[in-house]
Amino acid sequence: MAKKRLTKEELERLKEHAKVLYLHENITNQKALAERVGTSGNTISKWVTEGKWASLKKNFLLTREERMSDLLDELTEIQEVIKGQKEGARFADHKTALVRRMLVNDIKALEVTASKPEIIAACMDLIRFVRPENAEEAKIITKWADIFIKSLLR
């Protein structure tokens, strides 16, 4: 019996799920990743190569705290430049005000929203926590975590 051909949307969801597992759970073995996602090893290999996931993995290591710290440093530097101007001119020009507004918005977004990668990382942390105590329970949690992650990626 022939396998049902996936829609473009379904394929994109599988690709996103594989990417998240590759980047966050450190599943870099393509066969294991293919089994986990439900696709072929060749497909995974193609996605990893075309998407340059290996280089993304290096850049993806910034935590929320590190990103927040960088944004706050930038905002502080802008404020220091403004304070350093002569009296009567201690205000932001149009360009600086725009950058400052974008930084403030980015900081607010980091404060109030948990990103999909962070939610997924929490799921993976839970699985790693349970696995040494009860491998069977960890398998069940992994199954449900995969279902949950797929639902996030829709």
Of the candidates 144, 111, 29, the one whose C-alpha atom is nearest the C-alpha of residue 152 is 144
**CB proximity list for 56: less than 8 A, separation 6 or greater:** 19, 23
pLDDT at residue 113 above 80? no
Question: How many domains are there within the chain?
Answer: 3
Measured CA distances, 154 to 5, 55, 86, 127 (Å): 18, 25, 53, 22
The answer on 77 and 56 residing in a single domain is no
The answer on 68 and 45 residing in a single domain is no
Q: Given its phi and psi angles, is residue 88 left (phi above 0), alpha (psi -120 to 50 degrees) or beta?
A: left
pLDDT for 19 equals 87
The answer on 20 and 45 residing in a single domain is yes
pLDDT tens for each residue of 59-105: 555 566 777 888 999 999 999 999 999 999 999 999 999 999 999 99
Q: Is the pTM of this model over 0.95?
A: no
| Mean pLDDT value across residues 130-134 | 95
Is residue 4 in some structural domain? Answer: no
pLDDT tens for each residue of 20-49: 888 877 788 889 899 988 889 999 999 999
Please provide the average confidence, as pLDDT, over all residues in the chain: 85
Is residue 84 in some structural domain? Answer: yes
Is residue 73 in some structural domain? Answer: yes
Is residue 1 in some structural domain? Answer: no
Quickly tell me which residue has 């993304």 as its tokens: 56
CA 67 to chain CA mean position, Å: 12
Q: Which domain holds residue 101?
A: 63-112
Is residue 37 in some structural domain? Answer: yes
Of the candidates 149, 150, 154, the one whose C-alpha atom is nearest the C-alpha of residue 127 is 149
Q: Among 37-46, 47-56, 106-115, which is the least confidently predicted range?
A: 106-115
Is residue 28 in some structural domain? Answer: yes
How many C-beta atoms lie closer than 10 Å to residue 25's C-beta? Answer: 20
pLDDT tier at 4 (50, 70, 90 boundaries)?
confident
Per the CB < 8 A criterion, the answer to whether 146 and 139 are in contact is no
Is residue 44 in some structural domain? Answer: yes
Is residue 3 in some structural domain? Answer: no
